[in-house]
Amino acid sequence: MRKNIHILGAGPAGLALALRLLKRASLDCDISLIEKEPFTGGLCGSFSRSGIRFDYGSHRLHACSDKGILDEIKSYLGDDLLLNKRNGRIYLSGRFVRFPLKPADLLFHLPPSFIAGIIRDTLLKPFRSKKGGVHSYGDALLYSLGKTMCERFYFPYAEKLWGLTPFKISADQAKRRVAGASIGKIMRKICSKNDRKSVFYYPKNGFGQICGSFEKHANELGGRIHVSSDVHSILHSEGHIQSIRFRSLDGKESSVEQNTDFLCSTIPVTSLVRLFQPSLPQSVLDAADKIRFRSLALVYLVLRTDQFTPFDTHYFPEKNLIFSRISEPLNFSQCSDRKGLTGLCVEVPCSLGDSVCHASEGELVSMVLDDMKKAGLSVRCEIEDSFIRILKDAYPLYELDTMRNFKVIDNHLSTFSNLLNFGRQGLLIHDNIHHAIEMANSAGDCITDKCSLDALRWRSFRRRFEEFVVED
């Protein structure tokens, strides 16, 4: 009898895992994905509005991604996968500087006080002390980078992105989010002649075309994808998951129960643990209650002009501006059904229940336009359309006790013989899409033909995941 493998979440990690398993001829299993949203792709999806393809935030496929992963995506997208030169800007000390930085930018475009501070901090590095230990993001970066880079870039940006002071953020965040964790590494990165760092791949029809191609091939290989479907129960006994129950959110069918031989989850781990019946130990549920995620309000503007700026992305670390990043999709790919229009995606970090989430659409658009004017990016053309999307649980928050609480959950979930929890929201790992696909491929390789988990191999992969550093 054919066995059943279920995957919770049809974002890039879930879809990539389904493909990995479906391609294995020796695996005699039905593969089903359960996705709560009416579309696949998760945060890496795309949609159309006013004839423009929009993404859920600014995304790119980095040229430094694993070659095997790049080759697979190229095989699906062919000529639709475009190679672009990076052309961004960052707003520092009241002025725009090219991003990624080049040596000339350091000399001619950054304020002299900024350069002088970096030089001073570099010279004083041998005299900085780790007395008291390195417990937080603030401790780690102050020691490695000094006050100038921290106080004028990393600290305000971190507080804007995560809603926490740098000294309430775990030191793990510095390792996972800061590619150049010392002045020397940053300078080597700036002066590097590595061409792969200056270019990126982007699909012709929006970033969601990558996940769309995964979905298409998964369907062709016999995978079953249930969208608009909400899992409400995971039934288990004696360390073994027996079945899952899910209901259709479009009202077309009532609750369905399916037996499962192996369950994979990419949904937020804090949501996963609350689905088990019987309930998991209270200590696990208490740990889940202490783990938080950061949300993102996306403000979209459709403008009556061919191009707003020639830059693909603008970054804004300063706290006096509400947004952290603005991207212009048509500068990634000229995919539009209408001439004379362009679109902007403005990213506003937030937490559910705060003033941003409570603001009306009109209020939030007005706040964004006011701050764009402050930054010298006034919208002088007609706005044809504006709308917002709220992305709940966009990024895990690394608070000082987050990983300690996660370990309580992780240790208990590892006692289930046929459960594999992975992905950004499952393992609380900040990642790019190539990291998500690597995690998925690794997960697939750890599920045996008999629908059991090669736990030793999975632990080895997990150590590898801990070394992921997000590429901006």
CATH number of the domain residue 417 falls in = 3.50.50.60
Same domain, 119 and 23: no
> What's the mean pLDDT in 242-252?
88
Same domain, 114 and 154: yes
**Of 197 and 300, which is predicted with more confidence?**
300
pLDDT(175) > 90:
no
User: What is the Cα–Cα distance from 308 to 36, expressed in whole angstroms?
Assistant: 35
Same domain, 213 and 224: yes
Same domain, 383 and 264: no
> What's the mean pLDDT in 229-258?
91
Count of domains forming the chain: 3
The pLDDT, as a whole number, for residue 181 is 56
> What's the mean pLDDT in 378-407?
95
User: What is the Cα–Cα distance from 60 to 206, expressed in whole angstroms?
Assistant: 10
User: What is the Cα–Cα distance from 445 to 460, expressed in whole angstroms?
Assistant: 12
Whether 57 maps to a domain, the answer reads no
Whether 154 maps to a domain, the answer reads yes
User: What is the Cα–Cα distance from 39 to 433, expressed in whole angstroms?
Assistant: 17
Same domain, 347 and 285: no
- In this structure, the strands spanning 3-8 and 52-55 are unpaired
Same domain, 380 and 246: no
Whether 148 maps to a domain, the answer reads yes
93-123 tens-digit pLDDT: 889 998 877 767 666 678 888 888 888 988 8
> Cα-flanking dihedrals φ and ψ of residue 215, to 5°?
-60, -45
Identify the H or E element spanning 263: strand 262-265
Q: Which residues span the domain enclosing 423?
A: 3-45+207-291+399-465
The pLDDT, as a whole number, for residue 139 is 92
**Under 8 Å between Cβ of 154 and 140:** no
Question: CATH number of the domain that 155 lies in?
Answer: 1.10.3110
The pLDDT, as a whole number, for residue 113 is 87
The pLDDT, as a whole number, for residue 194 is 62
Confidence at 91, pLDDT banded by 50, 70, 90: very high
> What's the mean pLDDT in 47-62?
95
Same domain, 150 and 25: no
The pLDDT, as a whole number, for residue 408 is 98
- Cβ atoms < 10 Å from Cβ of 259: 12
- Cβ atoms < 10 Å from Cβ of 192: 12
> Of 372, 379, 376, whose CA–CA distance to 305 is shortest?
379
User: In terms of pTM, does the model score above 0.75?
Assistant: yes
The pLDDT, as a whole number, for residue 352 is 85
Least trusted range by pLDDT, from 83-92, 111-120, 158-167, 298-307: 111-120
Look up residue 102 and give its amino acid. Answer: K
Whether 329 maps to a domain, the answer reads yes
State the chain's mean pLDDT as an integer.
92
Domain final residue, candidates 396, 415, 432: 396
Confidence at 437, pLDDT banded by 50, 70, 90: very high
% of the chain with per-residue pLDDT over 90? 75
Identify the H or E element spanning 350: strand 342-350
Confidence at 179, pLDDT banded by 50, 70, 90: low
> What's the mean pLDDT in 136-163?
92
Q: What does the angle CA 170 – CA 173 – CA 176 come to, to the nearest 5 degrees?
A: 150
Confidence at 353, pLDDT banded by 50, 70, 90: confident
Same domain, 389 and 431: no
Look up residue 134 and give its amino acid. Answer: V
The pLDDT, as a whole number, for residue 467 is 87
Q: Which residue has the tokens 């249930």?
A: 226
Identify the H or E element spanning 393: strand 383-396
- Calculate the alpha carbon distances from 85 to 292, 311, 342 in Å: 36, 11, 20
Identify the H or E element spanning 296: strand 293-303
Whether 389 maps to a domain, the answer reads yes
Same domain, 286 and 157: no
Whether 374 maps to a domain, the answer reads yes
Same domain, 404 and 388: no
Same domain, 262 and 406: yes
**Of 174 and 178, which is predicted with more confidence?**
174
Whether 70 maps to a domain, the answer reads no
Whether 153 maps to a domain, the answer reads yes
The pLDDT, as a whole number, for residue 236 is 98
Same domain, 177 and 116: yes
> Of 407, 408, 412, 438, whose CA–CA distance to 423 is shortest?
438
Domain final residue, candidates 381, 396, 411: 396
- Cβ atoms < 10 Å from Cβ of 465: 16
Helices (H), ranges, 279-414: 282-289, 355-358, 361-374, 402-413
